Amino acid sequence: MKKIIYLLTSALLLSLSSCKKKEDKERPEFDYQPQHFSCYVNGEEFVPRVQGMCGGTKTFYDPDGFLNTNPGYLTFSGSKCLADDVIDVGFTLNPILEVGNYQLQDTTMEICFGFYSNVNEIKYSYNGHINITKLEPQTYRPFVQGRIEGTFEMSCANDQGDTVHITDGSFSLNLR
């Protein structure tokens, strides 16, 4: 009798584990996709990190419009903590509905702008572009995590004319 119970229990466990493996393959949100965000700020390498107040990379994209955002609203940024500073490099673009090259405008009132900030100030883009090479929005039924990839360069300034040049930027981020 013990052998029969052991065989039935073993068969049940094997059956359950095979169902779990099948479920993982059918649900793409279990696929690991590494994220990347990097650039050079005035010639120095900038790679975001999760540390203390720094959240690493953040992304938000809404192709349909939700909670007072227009369709195609995209924002993403990277944060890096230094000993006495927090540096952010980021972008807000609207509307972004397809891959392509987007010129950054010289004011936050425009639909596409970039920014560089640290503890003391924020500098906004006055020149630059983002080239989006992959744009796959997330879906909810079934849930599939989205993906955005591309490159960027920009120059940013504050009201006093202090500038920052951001070059060789690239990103591969999951959209949530």
Domain boundaries, the chain: 1-26, 32-175
Per cent of the chain over pLDDT 70 is 76
Alpha-carbon span 6 to 3, nearest angstrom = 5
Residue 4 has pLDDT above 50, yes or no: no
Q: Is 7 helix (H, G, I), strand (E, B) or coil?
A: helix
pTM over 0.85, yes/no: no
Residue 13 has pLDDT above 70, yes or no: no
Alpha-carbon span 93 to 110, nearest angstrom = 9
pLDDT tens digits for 36-50?
999 999 999 999 988
pLDDT tens digits for 155-167?
999 888 899 999 9
Tokens of 32: 């690991």
Nearest to residue 131, comparing CAs of 110, 111, 153, 109?
153
Tokens of 163: 């500038």
Nearest to residue 96, comparing CAs of 75, 76, 72, 114?
72
Which of 94-103, 105-114, 165-174 holds the top average pLDDT? 165-174
Neighbours of 29 (CB within 10 A): 11
pLDDT tens digits for 120-150?
889 999 999 999 999 998 777 666 778 999 9
Average per-residue pLDDT for the chain: 79
Q: What is the pLDDT of residue 169?
A: 97
Half-sphere exposure of 121 (CA within 13 A, CB side): 11
